[in-house]
């Protein structure tokens, strides 16, 4: 089991701006909104406390099975939980107009991007472990809510501040997923 707490993620301001543009349903973003998004990203990046806990398991070692999107020939899987913590939501509750009328949308887009960046980071880490075993990783596959409790029996989610309440992960911006390890294709050597 590996745990990484409070690692820094680089928010993608352009991506967040695109999401905000869709959310406000505007063909062009007003300058004030663009500035609010930039201020929001800068401010929120200081509040984010991205943490992850993960472990690798051989095929069949977990007490539950979720192979809906599993590749055909996988040999192991890395189960992980990731969260951005609660500080972003707590700060939003204190000042709901911090970045203008679209503060809620900005906070939500920042949170989703931070979670996505965290997943990308953990994928790179696990991918290097898989390469050491001559394997490649599948894309991240989300574990459905009905399997959260079973998954939590294999990794101690309380170490990163995640709980399962009423079948949902808490804090709100948390994610449970799995990467499947696929044996690398052997390269033929030409002499």
Q: Residue 141: CB partners within 8 Å, gap ≥ 6? A: 66, 68, 69, 70, 177, 178, 179, 180
CATH tag for 2-183 (out of 3.40.109.40, 3.30.360.10, 3.90.1150.10, 3.10.20.600): 3.40.109.40
Q: Are the beta carbons of 178 and 79 closer than 8 angstroms?
A: yes
Are residues 52 and 118 in contact, defined by beta-carbon separation less than 8 angstroms?
A: yes
CA 2, CA 176: separation in Å to the nearest integer?
Answer: 15
Do residues 52 and 160 touch, judged by C-beta distance below 8 A? yes
> Tens-digit pLDDT profile for the chain (191 aa)?
888 888 888 889 999 988 888 888 877 888 888 888 899 888 988 888 899 999 999 998 988 877 778 888 999 999 999 999 998 888 888 887 888 878 888 899 999 999 999 999 999 999 999 999 999 999 999 999 999 999 999 999 999 999 999 999 999 999 999 999 999 986 545 54
Report the C-alpha gap between 57 and 68 in whole angstroms. 17
Domain assignments of the chain as residue spans, ordered by start: 2-183
Tokens standing for residue 132: 């050491």
Q: Which of 60, 55, 183 is nearest to 131 (CA)?
A: 183
Whole-prediction pTM value? 0.87
Place of tokens 């991205």: 50
Residue whose C-alpha is closest to residue 83's, from 187, 181, 174, 182: 174
Cα–Cα distance between 6 and 85 in angstroms, integer?
Answer: 9
- Asked if the bond preceding 108 is cis, omega within 30° of 0, the reply is no
For β-strands 174-183 and 141-142, DSSP reports them as antiparallel
Look at residue 101 in the predicted model and tell me its pLDDT: 79
């Amino acid at each position: 089991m590996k745990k990484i707490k409070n690692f820094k993620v680089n928010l993608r301001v352009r991506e967040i701006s695109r999401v905000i543009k869709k959310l406000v349903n505007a063909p062009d973003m007003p300058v004030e909104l663009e500035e609010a998004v930039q201020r929001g990203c800068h401010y929120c990046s200081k509040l984010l406390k991205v943490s992850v806990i993960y472990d690798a398991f051989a095929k069949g070692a977990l007490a539950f099975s979720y192979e809906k999107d599993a590749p055909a020939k996988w040999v192991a899987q890395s189960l992980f939980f990731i969260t951005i913590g609660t500080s972003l939501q707590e700060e939003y509750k204190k000042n709901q107009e911090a970045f203008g009328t679209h503060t809620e949308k900005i906070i939500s887009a920042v949170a989703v991007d931070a979670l996505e960046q965290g997943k990308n980071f953990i994928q790179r880490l696990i991918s290097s472990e898989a390469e050491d075993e001559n394997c490649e990783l599948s894309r991240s596959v989300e574990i459905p809510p009905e399997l959260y409790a079973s998954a939590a029996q294999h990794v101690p989610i309380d170490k990163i501040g995640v709980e399962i309440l009423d079948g949902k992960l808490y804090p709100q911006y948390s994610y449970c997923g799995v990467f499947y390890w696929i044996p690398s294709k052997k390269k033929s050597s030409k002499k």
